[in-house]
Amino acid sequence: MFLWSIYNENPRVPRVSFFLRSEAEYMNKRVVVTGIGIISPLGKKDAFWHNLLNGISGISSITRFNTKDSPVKIAAEVKDFDPTDFMERRDARRMDLFCQYAVAAAKQCLNDASLKIDKQNSHRIGVLIGSGIGGMQTIESQAKILFEKGMDRVSPFFIPMLIPDMASGQTAILTGAKGPNSCTITACASGTHSIGDAFRIVARGNADAMLAGGAEASITPLAVAGFAAARTLSTQNDLLTKASRPFDLERDGFVMGEGACILLLEELEHAQARGADIYCELIGYGASGDAYHITSPAPEHEGAQRAMKEALSDADITINDVDYINAHGTSTKYNDKYESLAIKKVFGERAYEIPISSTKSLSGHLLGASGALEAAVCALALFNQVIPGTYNYENYDPECDLDYVPNQRRSMLLNTVISNSFGFGGHNAVLVMRRWNK
């Protein structure tokens, strides 16, 4: 700690001392996960975890629009979602679907954590929810109205419904959380960056708890057409549930998913004081930028390597402490190849000993919500001491030669796990989580 003393010779001016603290001194509070809320193609939290461990896929034929002229006819849709289970119909009508998902997951999360927001604690509980795309359904529907009926028929709620930050805004409005409120937009790393940044907010003492995660609802004609044009989506339509095949030699692209996942990150003493159940402790966060290409990872996924190393350093652990890696694992040719290479560069020979799995094989790729959902997987894995497998792994790829936990769950002792997320534009984010021991 440094002391600056400023003294003016004028006796009428008092001596002033400024204390400047280092980052380490600010980041001294422990942060735990006490709540999980999930809206996903595999169901809400309990159903999601059951289906994930048992290899039950959420991928099927697209029902949201007519796919007759689309090269992509499959996706991982959320089924049987009724927003009025979580909010008033009037409120729901003023939200895009991604925002409805976020509010629903946040309310589930608070219920799971047994935390009630009231006048006494509202200013100490914040919200940080990311989205890669935001209100795509609203953009498409209102554009259609504009072209068919004219400018004066565009909804006055158009802008508030489409902007990505409204997931955080509406969640705060409908839960009463008045603490720090923000939104992270880093493509497929949005959910992970949101959790990492919220982790720092709680660790610094700027909030006692943060609702953090991601939300996405982009299974629309325009979004599917755009990703298909970029040749990132699987066109193995006839395979349906087997189309998402991370690290498999026959992989040809990701399957788009949707949904939201929100975690409650809580300062340890605050959680203990109210007798909260704890899933795990969040102990590290690393982030980096490729500065290389709008969609492709940097050579040898150099940016991912730095993010993993930074996360390990932030958690004050070594490569020998890591028991499991939840991979970004999109089922695209280059992501899976370069992520495997990055893991080998960071962990050396130890990489071949660490179980790695991609849960996108069953959930599809939730884009801006994917990292949050996978952080929840890590929390649940630590809590239950079991890791989900990488399903649809059937054909060995010599460039992806690690232990991908093929096609079945694995029970094992887990103390420390990491979760990787990488987004278009070269955004990389990594979380480190540790088993909670009372």
Active-site residues, by number, are 188, 328, 365
| CA distance linking residue 435 with residue 25, whole number of Å | 24
Query: For residue 86, what are the contacts with CB-CB under 8 A and spacing of at least 6?
Result: 100, 103, 104, 107, 108
Q: Is residue 394 helix, strand or coil?
A: coil
CB 412 within 8 A of CB 355: yes
User: Is the backbone of residue 284 left (phi > 0), alpha (psi -120 to 50) or beta?
Assistant: beta
Query: Which residues pair with residue 420 across a beta bridge?
Result: 430
Radius of gyration of the chain (CA): 22
Helix, strand and coil in the chain, % to nearest 5: 40, 20, 40
According to DSSP, residue 9 is labeled: S
Query: What is the maximum span of the chain, computed from C-alpha positions, in angstroms?
Result: 85
| Token pair belonging to 263 | 């975690």
Q: What is the DSSP string of 12-67?
A: TSPPEEEEE--HHHHS---EEEEEEEEE-TT-SHHHHHHHHHTT----EE--SS--
CB 210 within 8 A of CB 128: yes
Q: What's the burial of 242, exposed, middle or buried (CB within 10 Å: 0-12/13-18/19+)?
A: middle
